[in-house]
Amino acid sequence: MDEINILRATEQAMALALSKLQLDSGINYDYVLIDGTVKLPMITQPQRQVIKGDAKVLSIAAASIIAKTYRDNKILNMPDLDYYNIWDIASNKGYGTKKHLDAIKLYGLSDLHRRTFGICRNY
The pLDDT score that the predictor gives to residue 61 is 97
Pair (73, 84) in one structural domain: no
> Does pLDDT of 93 surpass 80?
no
Q: How confident is the model at residue 54 (pLDDT cuts 50, 70, 90)?
A: very high
Helix (H, G, I), strand (E, B) or coil at 110: coil
Pair (18, 53) in one structural domain: yes
> Does pLDDT of 59 surpass 70?
yes
Q: pTM of the full predicted structure?
A: 0.74
Pair (85, 65) in one structural domain: no
Q: Which residues pair with 47 in a beta bridge?
A: 32
Pair (92, 46) in one structural domain: no
Pair (42, 30) in one structural domain: yes
Taking the C-alpha atoms of residue 39 and residue 55, their distance in angstroms, rounded to an integer, is: 19
Domain that holds residue 98: 79-123
